[in-house]
Copies of this chain bind each other. A is one copy, B any other.
Amino acid sequence: MEPLKLLSKIREQKPLIHHLTNWVTIYDCANVVRAFGALPVMAHAQEEVEEMTGIAGALVLNIGTLTPGFINSMMKAGKTANKKGIPVVLDVVGAGATRLRTESCAKLMKELDIGVLKGNAGEIGVLAGVEAEVRGVESISVSGDIRELAEKLAVEMNSTVAVTGKQDVISDGSKTYTVDNGHDYMSMIVGTGCMAASVIGCFTAVEADYAVAAASALGLYGLSAERAAEKSQGPGTFKQIWFDEIHALQKHDAQGLRIRHV
């Protein structure tokens, strides 16, 4: 796996990453895509999503502030992506917290071919059918081993599953990676999880092996956070410096990356 080579590809090709995402972290999702070198676009009107997805390198769906109408737009965009072979990343924000969220995820997972399903442990637990608690958009608890959960759900869905947390676990059912990069500050600010899905989107646009793409994305994302944290006084100033470090990634070697094939 050569994450920095994928990063270079993103910066050369500048793929369009089409988002249908939530209104809370939408700016950060766009900005992190720009920092990694791709071009973000946010467009959700039913009248234009198919056309916009059609010119995209990847589609990121994030249900953070969903409505039924918004899910319809996601379905349209997702079907276009599937027809054209454009990777789809689904961030299942708050799955398990309300029926609307859980059922909307189930519907999207059933009717679309999801390239990477991304969530925290609680969300993925809920969707894998094990006991789990999600409070709002926060994972409170999950029963069972996260790696096994990811592998089981990946096989069932025939896609890649990325579980983010202190240790990220990524599996496509036949192979599994862990990523140990990251910093506590990431969990102390809003948007870290959403941005992770957007970054995964960037990497799927240039790497057809989505497990490799997702692991590379999460590794570089976490590594840049570590570097930023060292220079920060707290989680507030950390966030801006993090963007600096993402922009600077190309200049660094990948020393410190802790991606393991397990």
Which residues of A are in contact with B by a Cβ distance under 8 Å?
14, 16, 18, 22-28, 30-31, 34-35, 39-45, 47-48, 51-52, 55-56, 64-68, 94, 97-101, 135-138, 188-191, 232-237, 239-248
Contact = CB atoms under 8 A, between A and B. Distances in A.
Contacts of A34: 188-190
> Within the oligomer, what is the number of copies of this chain?
3
Contact of A137 (B22, B41, B99): B41
A242 B30 CA distance: 19
B30 A27 contact: no
B41 A97 contact: yes
State the main secondary structure of chain A at its contact with B. mixed
Given A30-B190, A55-B135, A189-B31, A100 B44 contact: no
Contacts of A64: 42
19 contacts: A18-B136, A24-B27, A25-B27, A34-B188, A34-B189, A39-B138, A40-B136, A45-B68, A45-B100, A47-B100, A51-B97, A52-B136, A233-B241, A234-B244, A235-B243, A235-B244, A236-B239, A236-B240, A239-B240
Contacts of A99: 48, 51
Nearest to A45: B67
Contacts of A22: 42
A157 B119 CA distance: 43
B241 A237 contact: yes
Contact of A68 (B26, B47, B55): B47
